Protein backbone atom coordinates (compact mmCIF):
# COMPACT_ATOMS: atom_id res chain seq x y z
CA UNK A 1 0.00 0.00 0.00
CA UNK A 2 2.70 2.49 1.06
CA UNK A 3 4.84 1.26 -1.82
CA UNK A 4 2.06 1.91 -4.35
CA UNK A 5 1.42 5.38 -2.96
CA UNK A 6 5.13 6.23 -2.93
CA UNK A 7 5.63 4.97 -6.48
CA UNK A 8 2.57 6.90 -7.59
CA UNK A 9 3.82 10.13 -6.07
CA UNK A 10 7.25 9.58 -7.62
CA UNK A 11 5.73 9.11 -11.07
CA UNK A 12 3.56 12.19 -10.65
CA UNK A 13 6.61 14.21 -9.57
CA UNK A 14 8.65 12.97 -12.54
CA UNK A 15 5.71 13.69 -14.84
CA UNK A 16 5.47 17.27 -13.54
CA UNK A 17 9.18 17.81 -14.20
CA UNK A 18 8.93 16.34 -17.70
CA UNK A 19 5.76 18.34 -18.34
CA UNK A 20 7.48 21.59 -17.38
CA UNK A 21 10.44 20.69 -19.56
CA UNK A 22 8.13 19.64 -22.40
CA UNK A 23 6.21 22.91 -22.24
CA UNK A 24 9.49 24.79 -22.38
CA UNK A 25 10.74 22.70 -25.32
CA UNK A 26 7.49 23.00 -27.25
CA UNK A 27 7.30 26.74 -26.69
CA UNK A 28 10.96 27.40 -27.41
CA UNK A 29 11.19 25.07 -30.43
CA UNK A 30 7.90 26.22 -31.93
CA UNK A 31 8.65 29.91 -31.40
CA UNK A 32 12.19 29.48 -32.72
CA UNK A 33 11.18 27.76 -35.93
CA UNK A 34 8.07 29.93 -36.29
CA UNK A 35 10.53 32.69 -37.15
CA UNK A 36 12.43 30.56 -39.67
CA UNK A 37 10.81 30.66 -43.12
CA UNK A 38 10.70 27.39 -45.01
CA UNK A 39 12.65 27.58 -48.24
CA UNK A 40 9.66 26.06 -50.03
CA UNK A 41 7.53 29.12 -49.34
CA UNK A 42 4.45 26.96 -48.74
CA UNK A 43 2.04 27.86 -45.97
CA UNK A 44 0.86 25.29 -43.44
CA UNK A 45 -2.54 25.04 -45.12
CA UNK A 46 -0.92 24.50 -48.52
CA UNK A 47 1.35 21.75 -47.18
CA UNK A 48 -1.58 20.09 -45.44
CA UNK A 49 -3.65 20.20 -48.63
CA UNK A 50 -0.76 18.85 -50.69
CA UNK A 51 -0.25 15.88 -48.37
CA UNK A 52 -3.96 15.11 -48.18
CA UNK A 53 -4.43 15.21 -51.95
CA UNK A 54 -1.44 13.02 -52.72
CA UNK A 55 -2.89 10.43 -50.31
CA UNK A 56 -6.35 10.53 -51.88
CA UNK A 57 -7.94 12.42 -48.99
CA UNK A 58 -9.56 15.12 -51.13
CA UNK A 59 -12.67 15.10 -48.92
CA UNK A 60 -10.75 16.15 -45.79
CA UNK A 61 -10.94 19.90 -45.36
CA UNK A 62 -8.57 22.32 -43.65
CA UNK A 63 -9.85 25.22 -41.56
CA UNK A 64 -8.22 27.96 -39.47
CA UNK A 65 -8.87 27.94 -35.73
CA UNK A 66 -8.14 30.61 -33.14
CA UNK A 67 -5.49 30.23 -30.47
CA UNK A 68 -1.87 29.11 -30.30
CA UNK A 69 -0.88 25.44 -30.68
CA UNK A 70 -4.57 24.55 -31.03
CA UNK A 71 -3.94 22.50 -34.15
CA UNK A 72 -5.77 19.18 -34.36
CA UNK A 73 -7.49 16.70 -36.64
CA UNK A 74 -11.17 16.00 -35.93
CA UNK A 75 -11.98 12.44 -37.07
CA UNK A 76 -15.72 12.97 -36.55
CA UNK A 77 -15.99 15.70 -39.19
CA UNK A 78 -12.78 14.81 -41.05
CA UNK A 79 -11.45 18.34 -40.72
CA UNK A 80 -7.93 19.53 -39.97
CA UNK A 81 -7.97 22.70 -37.90
CA UNK A 82 -4.81 24.78 -37.89
CA UNK A 83 -4.02 27.74 -35.66
CA UNK A 84 -3.72 30.99 -37.57
CA UNK A 85 0.09 31.20 -37.47
CA UNK A 86 0.23 27.64 -38.85
CA UNK A 87 -2.60 27.97 -41.37
CA UNK A 88 -1.23 31.17 -42.93
CA UNK A 89 2.43 30.84 -41.91
CA UNK A 90 5.21 29.60 -44.16
CA UNK A 91 7.68 28.84 -41.39
CA UNK A 92 9.41 25.53 -40.67
CA UNK A 93 7.20 25.19 -37.57
CA UNK A 94 4.02 25.84 -39.57
CA UNK A 95 4.70 23.24 -42.26
CA UNK A 96 5.83 20.69 -39.63
CA UNK A 97 2.68 21.01 -37.52
CA UNK A 98 0.43 20.98 -40.58
CA UNK A 99 2.14 17.84 -41.87
CA UNK A 100 1.67 16.18 -38.45
CA UNK A 101 -2.07 16.83 -38.48
CA UNK A 102 -2.24 15.55 -42.04
CA UNK A 103 -0.50 12.45 -40.70
CA UNK A 104 -3.46 11.90 -38.38
CA UNK A 105 -5.85 12.23 -41.30
CA UNK A 106 -3.85 9.60 -43.19
CA UNK A 107 -4.03 7.32 -40.15
CA UNK A 108 -7.80 7.74 -40.06
CA UNK A 109 -8.13 7.15 -43.78
CA UNK A 110 -6.11 3.94 -43.56
CA UNK A 111 -7.99 2.70 -40.51
CA UNK A 112 -4.85 2.78 -38.36
CA UNK A 113 -5.92 0.57 -35.45
CA UNK A 114 -4.31 2.47 -32.53
CA UNK A 115 -6.05 5.68 -33.66
CA UNK A 116 -9.43 3.95 -33.97
CA UNK A 117 -8.95 2.35 -30.56
CA UNK A 118 -8.04 5.70 -29.01
CA UNK A 119 -11.09 7.36 -30.53
CA UNK A 120 -13.35 4.64 -29.09
CA UNK A 121 -11.81 4.91 -25.63
CA UNK A 122 -11.92 8.73 -25.59
CA UNK A 123 -15.54 9.10 -24.29
CA UNK A 124 -14.91 6.73 -21.35
CA UNK A 125 -11.57 8.38 -20.62
CA UNK A 126 -13.28 11.77 -20.58
CA UNK A 127 -15.78 10.54 -17.98
CA UNK A 128 -12.99 8.97 -15.94
CA UNK A 129 -10.87 12.11 -15.84
CA UNK A 130 -13.84 14.30 -14.87
CA UNK A 131 -15.44 12.20 -12.16
CA UNK A 132 -12.67 10.02 -10.72
CA UNK A 133 -12.12 12.13 -7.60
CA UNK A 134 -15.86 12.55 -7.07
CA UNK A 135 -16.16 8.78 -6.97
CA UNK A 136 -13.18 8.55 -4.61
CA UNK A 137 -14.78 11.06 -2.24
CA UNK A 138 -18.07 9.16 -2.35
CA UNK A 139 -16.09 6.01 -1.71
CA UNK A 140 -14.86 7.42 1.60
CA UNK A 141 -18.26 8.86 2.52
CA UNK A 142 -20.67 6.19 1.30
CA UNK A 143 -19.10 2.91 0.22
CA UNK A 144 -15.46 1.88 -0.43
CA UNK A 145 -16.43 -0.06 -3.55
CA UNK A 146 -16.94 3.27 -5.30
CA UNK A 147 -13.17 3.73 -5.20
CA UNK A 148 -12.86 0.52 -7.20
CA UNK A 149 -15.34 1.97 -9.70
CA UNK A 150 -13.16 5.08 -9.91
CA UNK A 151 -10.13 2.91 -10.65
CA UNK A 152 -11.99 1.10 -13.43
CA UNK A 153 -12.93 4.40 -15.06
CA UNK A 154 -9.43 5.77 -14.63
CA UNK A 155 -7.95 2.72 -16.32
CA UNK A 156 -9.54 4.10 -19.50
CA UNK A 157 -7.62 7.35 -18.96
CA UNK A 158 -4.34 5.44 -18.59
CA UNK A 159 -5.08 3.29 -21.63
CA UNK A 160 -5.97 6.41 -23.64
CA UNK A 161 -2.65 8.02 -22.76
CA UNK A 162 -0.67 4.86 -23.48
CA UNK A 163 -2.26 4.49 -26.91
CA UNK A 164 -1.75 8.19 -27.64
CA UNK A 165 2.04 7.76 -27.59
CA UNK A 166 2.33 5.47 -30.65
CA UNK A 167 -0.44 7.41 -32.41
CA UNK A 168 1.41 10.72 -32.07
CA UNK A 169 4.84 9.32 -32.91
CA UNK A 170 3.41 7.52 -35.93
CA UNK A 171 1.75 10.75 -37.15
CA UNK A 172 5.08 12.57 -36.82
CA UNK A 173 6.91 9.83 -38.71
CA UNK A 174 4.31 10.02 -41.46
CA UNK A 175 4.69 13.81 -41.53
CA UNK A 176 8.46 13.62 -41.93
CA UNK A 177 8.14 10.97 -44.64
CA UNK A 178 5.76 13.22 -46.57
CA UNK A 179 7.93 16.31 -46.14
CA UNK A 180 10.98 14.41 -47.38
CA UNK A 181 9.34 13.78 -50.75
CA UNK A 182 10.25 17.22 -52.07
CA UNK A 183 7.88 19.42 -50.10
CA UNK A 184 10.73 20.99 -48.14
CA UNK A 185 14.51 20.83 -48.69
CA UNK A 186 16.31 17.92 -47.06
CA UNK A 187 18.30 20.23 -44.79
CA UNK A 188 15.06 21.41 -43.15
CA UNK A 189 13.97 17.91 -42.11
CA UNK A 190 16.11 17.93 -38.97
CA UNK A 191 14.50 21.21 -37.89
CA UNK A 192 11.02 19.77 -38.48
CA UNK A 193 11.96 16.74 -36.43
CA UNK A 194 13.00 18.97 -33.52
CA UNK A 195 9.60 20.68 -33.55
CA UNK A 196 7.72 17.36 -33.62
CA UNK A 197 9.94 15.66 -31.02
CA UNK A 198 9.39 18.55 -28.60
CA UNK A 199 5.63 18.22 -28.96
CA UNK A 200 5.83 14.46 -28.33
CA UNK A 201 7.33 15.07 -24.87
CA UNK A 202 4.01 16.46 -23.67
CA UNK A 203 2.38 13.08 -24.33
CA UNK A 204 5.13 11.26 -22.44
CA UNK A 205 4.53 13.52 -19.43
CA UNK A 206 0.76 12.98 -19.61
CA UNK A 207 1.24 9.20 -19.69
CA UNK A 208 3.52 9.20 -16.66
CA UNK A 209 1.10 11.43 -14.76
CA UNK A 210 -1.81 9.11 -15.56
CA UNK A 211 0.16 6.06 -14.37
CA UNK A 212 1.10 7.88 -11.17
CA UNK A 213 -2.50 8.80 -10.43
CA UNK A 214 -3.56 5.21 -11.05
CA UNK A 215 -1.06 3.94 -8.46
CA UNK A 216 -2.33 6.53 -5.97
CA UNK A 217 -5.90 5.38 -6.56
CA UNK A 218 -4.91 1.76 -6.04
CA UNK A 219 -3.21 2.67 -2.76
CA UNK A 220 -6.38 4.44 -1.59
CA UNK A 221 -8.40 1.35 -2.41
CA UNK A 222 -5.97 -0.78 -0.40
CA UNK A 223 -6.33 1.50 2.61
CA UNK A 224 -10.10 1.05 2.62
CA UNK A 225 -9.93 -2.78 2.51
Which of the four pLDDT bands, split at 50, 70 and 90, describes residue 64? very high
**Separation of alpha carbons 212 and 53, rounded Å:** 42
Cβ-based burial of 125 (10 A; exposed 0-12, middle 13-18, buried ≥19): buried
Which of 5, 69, 11 lies closest to 205 in space, CA to CA?
11
Specify the range with the lowest mean pLDDT, choosing from 70-79, 151-160, 186-195: 151-160
**Separation of alpha carbons 26 and 69, rounded Å:** 9
Residue 183 near residue 40, CB atoms below 8 Å: yes
Q: Which residue has the higher pLDDT, 225 or 51?
A: 51
Q: Exactly one of 46, 101, 168, 188 is catalytic; which is it?
A: 101
**Separation of alpha carbons 66 and 64, rounded Å:** 7
Residue 145 pLDDT exceeds 90? no
Residue 99 near residue 192, CB atoms below 8 Å: yes
Residue 105 near residue 80, CB atoms below 8 Å: yes
Strands in 79-83's sheet, in edge-to-edge order, are 61-65, 79-83, 72-74
* Stated pTM of the model: 0.83
Specify the range with the lowest mean pLDDT, choosing from 17-21, 78-82, 123-127: 17-21
78 a catalytic residue: no
Specify the range with the lowest mean pLDDT, choosing from 9-18, 77-86, 103-112, 147-156: 9-18
User: Which H or E element spans position 147?
Assistant: helix 145-179
Which of the four pLDDT bands, split at 50, 70 and 90, describes residue 198? confident
For residue 15, the number of C-alpha atoms closer than 13 Å in the C-beta half-sphere is: 18
Which of the four pLDDT bands, split at 50, 70 and 90, describes residue 209? confident
Mean pLDDT (the chain) is 87
Amino acid sequence: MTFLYGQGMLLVFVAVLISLYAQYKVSSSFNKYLKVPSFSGYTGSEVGRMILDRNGLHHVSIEPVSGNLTDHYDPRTEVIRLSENVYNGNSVAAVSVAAHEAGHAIQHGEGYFPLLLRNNIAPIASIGSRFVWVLVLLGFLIHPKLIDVAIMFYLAVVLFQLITLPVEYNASNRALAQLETGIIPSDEISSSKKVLDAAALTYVAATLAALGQLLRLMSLSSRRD
